[in-house]
Amino acid sequence: MLAAIGSTIGLGLLWKFPYVIGQNGGGIFLFTYFLCLLLIGVPLFIAEVLLGRSSQRAALGAFSTYAKGRGNWLIGGYLGIIASFVIMSFYSVIAGWGMSYVLMSLNGFYAGKSLEQVGAVFETLSHSGTITMFWHFMFTAITMLIVVSGVRQGIEYWSKIMVKILLILLIGLFLYGTTLSGFSKALHFVFYPDFNSFKLSSMLEALGLAFLTLSLGQGIMISYGSYLKKNENILKMAAVIVASVMCVAILAALTIFPVVFTFDLSPSSGPGLVFKTLPYLFAQLPGSMVLSTLFFTLFVFTALTSAVPLIEVVATNIMEKYKIERKKAVIWVSVCTFICGIPSALAYSTDLFPQWQQIFRVNFLDTLNDLVSNWVIPFAGLVTSIFVGWVMEKSVMKEAFTQGGDYSLLYRPWRFFVRWVIPAVIMLIVVQKSGIFSIG
């Protein structure tokens, strides 16, 4: 459970969720996001975990078990593996910047600098290929050491520690934010429904964020499900994890925005809130070194709890398919993600593929991010929902759903959502993002 919670509490909740709220109507977007979590995210989450537990295998093996010899359904497993591998290749670059900021905060790099000068520090860091490569390597190595120890000794053990520390740090920063003059404005910003800023396309944004924050379409929950015992209560697990995501999302917003509004800065600055503006804001507050160090330590912890399952998914499938030991599989996957992450590490420095942004509109790292978020993950979720809803035998699915608790009354509503609602909504997202038509 803690491993799954750690997977869902990622960088998206810490920096993407807050600024997306500001761009899409405040409280009305928050309500829509929570609705998407409950009506779309929870049924698909249950479907992925159920698929893993009933087969006791990772993504490829799970699809193969119930595909009845039809190998084309394995595409669902391969899409999840591809998504996890690609995300890890550039995720470690962003997380590496966070590690750098922990060290920089301890050295008080923001002291005496203007807002523009603090922002320029990030520009220097991101454009320094060798420094970014170093932190990219360090984060990948730390993740590898945790995963190589296995689920019980490694992932589960470290998740218990990291999730608890993460929540303590976040609550501490939230309590600090309540003392700032901008806290009341932050409350209004986060919870007040601004219908003028809310569009129909905001609903699609909320749904995509729900997929991202629940780690759906990446094979992660299928792999974690394969480690569950038959008597584990999946519905209870889903309820706890979704509740955790909701709480952390609100905490993250109410940690960042009180600081932002205290100094009258833009709440919709995106990633710049983390790397370009927050260090400057911390410098204006008492205990700036402690506050800045704690925040970026939290940033790294959130990245690590999400990176662990990304390596685990790929390694577990390799272990099952090629019958090799965990240590060897994890090392190979880690080395490959590091190598494939080199272009992302050098994306801002333009030391590699200097014309990439001119050709593809965005740099290499952002290209991978868009590719996975807009196409691979939605298609993986679509295949999973169709497979569980239409291909798996009804008797097998019902038995798997009711194991660990008597929820037979919820089976039909859940099956309806998996078979009809989720595929329809995902297709809407894919068609809208393809540009065939535009909403709002």
pLDDT in tens, 170-191: 888 889 889 889 999 999 888 8
Q: What is the pLDDT of residues 315-330, one digit of tens each?
A: 999 999 899 998 999 9
Most confident region among 156-170, 332-346, 358-372 by mean pLDDT: 332-346
Measured CA to CA in angstroms, residue 188 lies from 19, 145, 199, 202 at distances of 14, 43, 20, 19
Question: 4 with 301: CB under 8 angstroms?
Answer: no
Could you please state the CATH topology (level 3) that the domain comprising 2-434 is classified under. Amino acid/polyamine transporter I (1.20.1740)
Quote the CA–CA distance of 319 and 223 in Å, as a whole number. 12
Domain extent listing, the chain: 2-434
* 193 DSSP 8-state letter: B
- CA 338 – CA 349 distance, rounded (Å): 17
Which residue from 368, 24, 43, 42 is spatially nearest to 204, judged by alpha carbons? 24
Cβ of 191: how many Cβ atoms within 10 Å? Answer: 16
Q: What is the pLDDT of residues 373-422, one digit of tens each?
A: 878 888 999 999 999 999 998 888 888 898 877 788 899 999 999 999 99
Span 203-259, pLDDT tens digits: 777 887 888 888 899 999 998 898 888 888 889 889 989 998 898 888 888 888 888
DSSP state of 421: I
